[in-house]
Amino acid sequence: MADSIKCPNCSGNLVFDADRQLMVCEYCSSAFTAEQLANTIVPEAPAQTDAGDRIHATNAEEHIRTSLNDTHIQFICNACGAQVVTDRNTSATFCAFCGSPAIISQRLTDEFSPDYIIPFKYGREEAIKKFFKWCKGGRWTPFDFVSDKSIEKLTGLYVPFWLFDARSDVAIWAEGVSESSVTHGSTTTVTTSYYDTIREYQMKWSKIPLDGATYIQDDLMEAIEPFYFKEMVPFDPAYMQGFFADRYDLTGDKLKPRLIRRLKNYITQELTPTYSKYNRGVKVKDDNTRIYEPNMYYAMLPVWFLHYKYNNKDYYFCMNGQTGEVAGVPPVSRLKRFVLFFVLLAALAPIVRLIIGLILWGTVG
């Protein structure tokens, strides 16, 4: 059984309005803060399947796994009673039959229970505006890229992230090389100097975000950083109402190698300016840097997604649902490039004829 948050006034479905930062009733237009609705997700009464089996919210996944494969799970919509199949990691979605928002709360328990959430601050209309600005209104994109059909695919998704608090003791011994030259008359003397350099620092990082979903491109998620974690709040499923959400399929431990690579890049970025006086570079002789075991938290962060397929290639647009930062590479229409080529050719034809005429006139003269 999927759970939902109901309006205290009319029992209609509530959705989170990102622009107003309020839970809004789709029927009576009442509005509430998430705090006012704390602990109001109440599972519906057990639903009955066609076979007459009774399914409770607490054992729905166990029951369904006996009839579906490991990649898809079925839930019962508490608004219309329809049986809807979702990916096994989907935690918040919509009923495909009646459109009601649904939170599959049994997928957000135990180790899958998030610690924090950053609510969406950009609603769908603002995301669409950002999308058009990003692709310049479709000036060079395929004609159907900015069509209503494509815009309908723009999806607000809470992406599962692991946040890491890390620290490191940096201890690096390196050799810096500088070169100078002096010229006297026709003679140039070059002097190369070598220096021992030691860099010892204590570095700390707070809430480094790494997405915990295998199907999401890591470079896209890094491109829409940063997230402002001062606006992060303890997890409340009310903020998920009206959006999609997935739970992680990569544990924090599996992401630690990627975290280490990122920390090493951060260390390099910090140290590089301190070597600027060595104009012939620096060679590391010994690196005794220690990176300690990080603390990690599980959080749901807001992202708008659009997936588009063109000439058998996948293209993605994504936008940080908190800051509005966008990333992606839009497709370029072959037809529009073809038309542009002939437009430019036609525009340049008189100039080309003039140049050729002048050349011929000069030759004859």
Same domain, 322 and 339: no
Full domain range(s) for residue 365: 334-365
Same domain, 93 and 214: no
Q: Are the C-beta atoms of residues 244 and 187 closer than 8 Å to each other?
A: no
Nearest alpha-carbon partner for 315 in 332, 303, 302: 332
Same domain, 68 and 194: no
Q: What is the pLDDT of residues 176-223, one digit of tens each?
A: 999 999 988 889 999 999 999 999 999 999 999 999 999 888 999 999
Same domain, 185 and 274: yes
Q: What is the predicted pLDDT for the residue at 65?
A: 39
Give a yes or no: residue 244 inside a domain: yes
Q: What is the predicted pLDDT for the residue at 341?
A: 47
- Between strands 72-76 and 14-17, the pairing is unpaired
Give a yes or no: residue 119 inside a domain: no
d(CA 100, CA 122): 21
- Between strands 14-17 and 22-25, the pairing is antiparallel
Q: Dihedral sign, CA of 32, 241, 117, 230?
A: negative
Give a yes or no: residue 247 inside a domain: yes
Same domain, 176 and 322: yes
Q: What is the predicted pLDDT for the residue at 211?
A: 96
Flag residues of the chain having pLDDT under 70: 1-4, 38-85, 92, 94-107, 137-140, 143-145, 333-365
Same domain, 324 and 201: yes
Same domain, 364 and 241: no
Q: What is the predicted pLDDT for the residue at 198?
A: 95
The residue with tokens 């409340």 is 236
Give a yes or no: residue 126 inside a domain: no
Give a yes or no: residue 270 inside a domain: yes
Q: What is the pLDDT of residues 121-155, one digit of tens each?
A: 999 999 998 888 887 755 667 766 677 777 888 88
Same domain, 172 and 304: yes
Q: What is the predicted pLDDT for the residue at 197?
A: 95
Q: Are the C-beta atoms of residues 105 and 57 closer than 8 Å to each other?
A: yes
Alpha-carbon distance values, 41 to 4, 55, 159, 241 (Å): 6, 18, 21, 10
Q: What is the predicted pLDDT for the residue at 91?
A: 73
Give a yes or no: residue 139 inside a domain: no
Same domain, 170 and 226: yes
- Between strands 90-94 and 101-103, the pairing is antiparallel
Does the pTM exceed 0.85?
no
Question: ∠100-103-107 over CA atoms, to 5°?
Answer: 150
Give a yes or no: residue 125 inside a domain: no
Give a yes or no: residue 122 inside a domain: no
Q: What is the predicted pLDDT for the residue at 309?
A: 79
Specify the number of domains making up the chain: 3
Nearest alpha-carbon partner for 317 in 325, 305, 302: 305
Q: What is the predicted pLDDT for the residue at 71?
A: 62
Question: ∠87-92-94 over CA atoms, to 5°?
Answer: 85
